[in-house]
Each structure stands twice: as structure tokens, then as C-alpha cells.
């Protein structure tokens, strides 16, 4: 059997880092971890190829080679998915589709021979058994949350690692919290199901032996969903392995804000090699936090929580939302003030949307405020909810936030303030970073490209030189970070060009 795995193209978005990747001559941020994991679940004797459309063009000859095309994706990739399916129809290639996009909205896609939905550990073996008997069904679904301890190591040999800036590993699925706008608990449950420490060490070892060194993103929706197991088993094992292997990786992940309440956990994460964490902050408004059931963020000084995590050496990338029912017109200025005061450099601000499967989707549907379609791009002025404040007011307010945090003057001021205060308790060497990307000084080309692009041709060049000179005299050890954040800003200004 010949299987072609296809990962659809992602548009130019906040998280694509498309305008930043050019500085290091990489093609994409991360490889498609889900497809690589599914590939490892298929019979070993089957022939397998992978085309990541963010890295290379999908040629007809690849499609004609395949007996089946396996495709997965997210909402933001929906248009590319449809294009691929249409091409398969014309060439007579049978499509097998799975992953979050299809699990939530498989009825929106025609031309798919087999939908293998929910978690592959449950549905894929049944599909494969039926396929072998020549009796494969159209849809495979499950309401079970499988044991995560038998999931195999991803089939890394299918990708050219030189195309990417960061590899990915998954430790857990599920989240103990139940935010109204989130569909994670619908997809993966409220209990954090985890791999064993031996599994994780095995995956790190497999990546190590491929020759990979540098950035590694743990894609968990909430890495600290089971803090007890992390502290007792997993982090001690990672710490010991990293020391043994002379620290080949630097980690980043996603976690809830209550990470700030556990100093031991933060210290262990730093010792294990963690450098960054994405946190869903959402809003400084208590009423809006109560509305969306974000109780882990309530009744705390969010600015101080952010600064405490950063004090330990974990750089925070934050998620923010506007458009809650309880939001008043003052929320736009409050969000700008919060982001500037908390020194969150990478602040992803989006208008409230309701993913299928979320409790918010059901609520606004009952209220008659649900609109068709959701782009999956948090920054494109789209929402599938009729906002109570009115769309025009919301859109104008959103643009004012973007201008208030990503125009050169406030952005560079925020970077300088962060670097001035950045005195992590755990000392470490500094390298150039990009989101989940680590730049080594071996990337000499990136440095010189920044000098030309940011220092000469960019409209924000005076801010760029001001930051570098300030860093040179005030915080010389942090010049790599200053350069990295300057390139961040370049990407963000390109993404938000229509709003600035």
C-alpha cells in the first residue's frame, strides 16, 4: 500500500512567522506532528511519503503515486484542504481525513472517502482492520479518550528537518479547565492524559539521534494539567536526560496562569531547559473572565503573575480576546495598558470566536447570535458571533489595540522595558530566539539580514538602532534577545500592516 500524507498550506498569520523565517532561510515553523504520529501507526511494510505544503509544492505525480492520501489540518487551513480534495477527485485518489478540522466539521467536506475522526488511537485501528477486509466505512468516530501511553514515536524520517526551525513533541492531551470559548475539553476531555516518562525520554532520544539540536515545542494545550506527575516523574527524568546529553534542546510549551503559583514547578522547568510558555491571559476584566468561565485567571493580579513567571526566566507569549458580552468600550485601552505594563512582547490579540464543539458555540446559537463560518485566523477582523457591542465598534477597538501595541514606538518601548527588567533567577546563556525558534550565532546571515532589512530599509529603523545601541551599553548580554524581538516586530508589522 502506498500512502501519501499531506499537510495543507497555512496562510500568512500571526503564528506563521513567515516574515521572520526569511532571516534564517527556513521554510516552516513546525513539522505536522499529528500526521507523523499516524504514519507510525500504519503497517511498517507500507510505503509512506509526506508532503508539507508549507515546505514544498504538492505535485500531481505525488498524487498519482498514492493509493490513499491521508490529510489533516486545522480550521485556518480549510481552503487549502478543499483545494487538495478537489485535486484528488480529478485524479481519482481516495482521501482519508482526520484531525481537529474534520472531527469538528466533517460534514462540510465532500469528496472524502473515509473520515477517521477523534483520536487516532481509537478509530484508526478499526479503520485499518476494515480496510484490510475490503469493508472500510465512510465515517469512524469514538467518544472514548484513549490511553496515551501506547502512542508510538512519530516517524521523523518522513520530514527533512532542515526545513524547520523547531521540532514538536506531545506529552499530554486534555485540560482540567473548561473555558467557554475553548473546544479542547470537547476534543480531549477534562482529565490530562499523559505519556510516561519513558515515552517522553524515548522521543527525546529519537530526536537526538536524528541529529536535531535546538528548539523543541511541547504542543500540549496545558502542559501543567497534571502538576503532580510532572514534578514527581517527568521533569526529573528530563532534567537528568538533558544533563546527560549536554543540553541539546531548549523547550517551550503552553500552560495556564496558575503556573505562577508553583515556584518549585517553574524552577524545575527552567532546570529542564524550558525557555518560553504561551499563556491564555484573555482579558484584565473580571466580569468577562467570569463570563467565559476562566476562573483560574480570576481574583489575582494578572500583571504580577506574568512578571513572576518571567522573573524565573520563562518568557511569556500571551493570548488576549476582545468581544466578550461584558466588554465595555474601555476594554480596548485596558488591553493596551495591560500588555505594555506586563511586558508581554508576543501578544496575540483576537476577536472572540466560537469554535464548533465549544460551550460558547452552543450558547450563542441558542441566542440567535451565531454566524456561519470561522476563519481560524485570530487576527483577521472576523468573528462568527454577533457581538453585543456591535461589530463596527468591536472592529475599530480591535484595530486600536493593534496600533497601540505593534506600532514601532509602543512595541520597542515594551521590548526595552522587558529587557531592562529581565533578570532571571536561573542564569543561562542567551541565544537568538523566535517564538519557538532558537537562533545560534552560527546564523551569521540572520544578523546581517537584520542590519539591512531592519536597520536600513524598514520604516522603524530608528527604533531598531536605538534598541541595539541601548542594549549594547545597558544590557550587552541581551543583545541577541533585542535582535530577536526586533525581528518579531518586523513580522508583526507585516501581518498587521492594514491596521497600523
Judge if 103 and 212 occupy the same domain. no
pLDDT tens for each residue of 337-384? 999 999 999 999 999 999 999 999 999 999 999 998 899 998 899 999
Report pLDDT for 445.
76
pLDDT tens for each residue of 236-284? 999 999 999 999 999 999 999 999 999 999 999 999 999 999 999 999 9
pTM above 0.85, yes or no: yes
pLDDT tens for each residue of 446-500? 788 999 999 999 999 999 999 999 999 999 989 889 999 999 999 999 999 999 9
- Residue 347 inside a domain? The answer is yes
Tell me the sheet residues that pair with 194. Answer: 172
- Residue 75 inside a domain? The answer is yes
Domain range enclosing 32: 2-140
pLDDT tens for each residue of 95-122? 999 999 999 999 999 999 999 999 999 9
Q: What is the CATH number of the domain that holds 354?
A: 3.20.20.70
Judge if 400 and 474 occupy the same domain. no
Tell me the sheet residues that pair with 278. Answer: 254, 317
- Residue 152 inside a domain? The answer is no
Judge if 218 and 327 occupy the same domain. yes
Query: Which among 140, 158, 181 is the end of a domain?
Result: 140
Judge if 234 and 344 occupy the same domain. yes
- Residue 172 inside a domain? The answer is yes
Query: Which among 364, 388, 406 is the end of a domain?
Result: 406
- Residue 105 inside a domain? The answer is yes
Torsion angle in degrees (nearest 10) through CA of 200, 318, 437, 443: -150
Which helix (H) or strand (E) segment is 210 a member of? Answer: helix 197-210
CA contacts within 13 A on the Cβ side of 362: 7
Average of pLDDT values for 78-94? 97
The one-character DSSP state at 282 is E
pLDDT over threshold 60, residue 428: no
How does the average pLDDT of the chain come out, rounded? 94
Q: Residue 66, Cα to own-chain centre: how many angstroms?
A: 30
- 334 neighbors 285 (Cβ within 8 angstroms): yes
Report pLDDT for 448.
87
Query: Which among 406, 440, 465 is the end of a domain?
Result: 406
Judge if 172 and 122 occupy the same domain. no
Judge if 383 and 276 occupy the same domain. yes
Query: Exposed, middle or buried by CB within 10 Å (0-12, 13-18, 19+), for 282?
Result: buried
- 292 neighbors 360 (Cβ within 8 angstroms): yes
For residue 137, give the C-alpha cell: 466505512
Angstrom distance (rounded) from CA 9 to CA 6: 9
Judge if 359 and 467 occupy the same domain. no
Distances (CA, A) of 272 to 236, 241, 269, 327, 390: 8, 9, 5, 39, 47
- Residue 379 inside a domain? The answer is yes
Angstrom distance (rounded) from CA 36 to CA 47: 14
Count of structural domains within the chain: 3
Q: What is the CATH number of the domain that holds 99?
A: 3.40.50.280
b/e map of 49-73 (b: 16 or more CB within 10 Å)?
ebbbbbbeebeeebbeebebbbbbb
- Residue 394 inside a domain? The answer is yes
pLDDT over threshold 70, residue 320: yes
pLDDT over threshold 50, residue 430: no
pLDDT tens for each residue of 122-139? 999 999 999 999 999 999
pLDDT over threshold 70, residue 387: yes
Report pLDDT for 447.
80
pLDDT over threshold 60, residue 436: no
pLDDT tens for each residue of 407-423? 999 999 999 999 999 98
Q: Which residues contact 184 (CB under 8 A, 6 or more apart)?
A: 174, 175, 221, 222
CA contacts within 13 A on the Cβ side of 375: 14
Phi and psi at residue 319, in whole multiples of 5°? -105, 135
Residue 277: other Cβ atoms inside 10 A: 25
Amino acid at each position: 500500500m502506498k500512502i501519501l500524507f499531506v499537510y495543507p498550506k497555512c496562510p500568512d498569520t500571526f503564528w506563521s512567522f513567515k516574515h521572520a523565517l526569511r532571516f534564517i532561510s527556513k521554510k516552516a515553523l513546525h513539522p505536522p506532528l499529528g500526521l507523523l504520529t499516524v504514519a507510525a501507526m500504519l503497517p511498517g511494510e507500507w510505503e509512506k511519503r509526506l508532503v508539507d505544503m508549507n515546505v514544498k509544492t504538492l505535485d500531481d505525480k505525488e498524487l498519482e503515486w498514492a493509493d490513499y492520501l491521508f490529510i489533516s489540518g486545522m480550521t485556518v487551513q480549510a481552503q487549502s484542504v478543499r483545494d487538495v480534495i478537489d485535486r484528488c477527485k480529478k485524479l481519482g485518489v481516495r482521501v482519508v481525513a482526520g484531525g481537529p478540522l474534520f472531527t469538528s466539521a466533517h460534514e462540510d467536506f465532500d469528496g472524502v472517502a473515509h473520515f477517521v475522526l477523534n483520536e487516532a488511537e481509537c478509530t484508526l485501528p478499526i479503520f485499518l482492520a476494515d480496510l484490510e477486509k475490503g469493508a472500510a466505512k465512510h465515517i469512524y468516530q469514538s467518544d472514548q479518550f484513549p490511553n496515551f501511553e501506547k502512542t508510538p514515536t512519530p516517524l521523523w524520517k518522513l520530514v527533512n528537518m532542515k526545513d524547520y526551525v523547531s521540532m514538536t513533541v506531545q506529552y499530554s492531551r486534555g485540560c482540567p479547565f473548561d473555558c467557554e470559548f475553548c473546544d479542547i475539553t470537547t476534543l480531549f476531555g477534562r482529565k490530562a492524559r499523559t505519556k510516561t516518562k519513558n515515552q517522553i525520554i524515548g522521543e527525546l532520544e529519537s530526536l537526538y539521534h536524528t541529529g536535531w539540536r535546538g528548539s523543541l515545542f511541547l504542543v500540549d494545550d496545558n502542559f501543567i494539567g497534571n502538576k503532580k506527575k510532572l514534578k514527581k516523574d517527568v521533569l526529573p527524568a528530563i532534567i537528568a536526560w538533558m544533563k546527560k546529553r549536554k543540553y541539546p534542546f531548549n523547550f517551550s510549551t503552553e500552560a495556564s496562569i496558575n503556573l505562577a503559583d508553583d515556584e518549585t514547578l517553574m524552577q524545575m522547568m527552567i532546570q529542564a531547559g524550558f525557555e518560553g510558555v504561551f499563556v491564555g491571559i484573555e482579558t484584565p476584566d473580571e466580569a468577562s473572565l467570569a463570563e467565559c468561565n476562566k476562573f483560574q485567571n480570576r481574583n489575582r493580579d494578572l500583571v504580577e503573575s506574568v512578571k513572576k513567571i518571567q522573573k524565573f526566566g520563562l518568557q511569556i507569549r500571551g493570548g488576549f480576546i476582545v468581544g466578550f458580552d461584558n466588554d465595555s468600550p474601555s476594554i480596548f485601552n485596558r488591553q493596551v495598558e495591560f500588555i505594555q505594563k506586563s511586558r508581554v512582547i508576543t501578544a496575540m490579540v483576537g476577536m472572540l470566536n466560537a469554535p464548533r464543539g465549544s460551550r460558547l458555540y452552543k450558547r450563542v446559537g441558542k441566542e440567535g447570535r451565531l454566524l456561519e463560518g470561522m476563519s481560524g485566523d485570530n487576527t483577521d477582523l472576523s468573528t462568527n458571533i454577533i457581538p453585543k457591542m456591535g461589530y463596527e465598534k468591536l472592529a475599530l477597538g480591535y484595530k486600536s489595540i493593534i496600533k497601540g501595541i505593534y506600532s514601532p514606538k509602543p512595541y520597542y518601548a515594551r521590548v526595552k522595558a522587558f529587557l531592562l527588567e529581565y533578570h532571571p533567577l536561573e542564569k543561562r546563556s542567551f541565544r537568538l530566539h523566535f517564538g519557538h525558534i532558537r537562533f545560534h550565532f552560527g546564523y551569521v546571515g540572520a544578523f546581517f539580514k537584520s542590519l539591512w532589512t531592519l536597520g536600513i530599509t524598514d520604516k522603524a529603523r530608528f527604533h531598531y538602532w536605538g534598541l541595539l545601541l541601548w542594549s549594547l551599553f545597558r544590557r550587552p548580554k541581551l543583545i541577541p534577545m533585542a535582535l530577536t524581538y526586533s525581528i518579531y516586530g518586523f513580522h508583526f508589522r507585516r501581518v498587521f500592516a492594514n491596521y497600523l
